[in-house]
Amino acid sequence: MDGVDLVTGAFGNAGSAIAAQLGEQGRAVRTLTTRSPEGGEPTDIEVRPLDWDDATALKDAFDGVETFYNTYWMRLGDRHGSYDLAVQRCFQLIEAAESAGVERIVHVSIAHASHRSAYPYFRAKAKVEERLELSDVPTLVVRPTLLFGGQSVLLNNLAWALRKLPVFAVAGRGDYRVRPIHVDDLARLCVLGPHLDDEPEVHVDRLIDASPHLVVDAVGPDRPTYMDLVREIRHATGSRVLIVRTPTPAVLAGSRLIGALVRDQVLDRDELVSTVKGLADTEGPPTGSTSLLGWIRDHAGDLGHHYHNERTSRPVPAGEST
């Protein structure tokens, strides 16, 4: 299989997994970024500079591209707490891809994206999905809940807290479920598609009038409660930490104290509250095959020895979704 595909954030977590999957398929990969590759990163990826103010250069970056894989997002929004800039930049990328004549757009969104959501993050993601529905280019929207594996810091930092703290606070009752997908499974879903003909049980949220606009949840086979997940990591790492159920405001206050020590925003309020409300879970069969609980057991010896700061330990390139 020959051809060129463009992946935003090809040196980041989801983007690098997608780029690796494309390489296995014999595809050439191009990326847009504001920085140069660092040591240990793939050297066979074509790097184009990303300048949001240069529409011509942005369009030229898509020259000859067959499929555009968009992982771009801003996890915490802009400095004003809004996601308008993230939405605007996704629109710019989509318009540049359309103008250049790409054959397909694959977009990494979020499960439960909705204009009616109580959370700005989910509403903003829905705006991008709506824009893709209006495109003349066939699109695949892939909706993960949470990611693990690869460069993801989620489970590592959870294990770090369980190793280091005398008491670990779980928000509310801890009976809300989480359904992460391994980043490699996400990449396969993006590159190979949900295989609807071969796997009719795949959880498809929306197939718009049999048009080429498909939305599919990206979820793994395990759906533990958050309390069970914490207990599994505690057991796997040999931690003796005391786990206590705590009101959500107290958990947020504690995370701010820890964040001051590690110089990171450990937890965002909407991220926590939406998880407690069940938005890190979905119904329907899995679209990824890697067991979350099995992965924790296999990697327990490596998890949580050091805190991984998203802001300082690994620069997040432009185009990376976190």
Domain ranges across the chain: 4-147+181-218, 153-179+221-283+290-302
Q: What is the mean pLDDT of residues 132-141?
A: 95
Q: Where are the beta strands (DSSP E) in 52-166?
A: 65-70, 104-108, 139-144, 147-148
Write out the CATH class of domain 153-179+221-283+290-302: alpha beta
For the record, the structure tokens of 298 come out as: 């296999």
Burial of 122 (C-beta count, 10 Å sphere; 0-12/13-18/19+): buried
Residue 214 pairs in a beta bridge with: 140, 207
> What residues form DSSP beta bridges with 142?
108, 216
Q: pLDDT tier at 316 (50, 70, 90 boundaries)?
A: very low
Q: Inform me whether the pLDDT recorded for 112 exceeds 50.
A: yes
- Tell me which residue of 157, 174, 179, 168 sits closest to 293, measured CA to CA: 179
| Digit-coded pLDDT (tens) for 218-237 | 999 999 999 999 999 999 99
Give the 3-state secondary structure percentages of the chain, helix then strand then coil, rounded to 5. Answer: 35, 20, 45
Residue 27 has pLDDT above 80, yes or no: yes
User: What pLDDT, on a 0 to 100 scale, did the predictor assign at position 123?
Assistant: 96
The CATH homologous superfamily to which domain 4-147+181-218 belongs is: NAD(P)-binding Rossmann-like Domain (3.40.50.720)
Question: Rounded mean pLDDT of 74-88?
Answer: 85
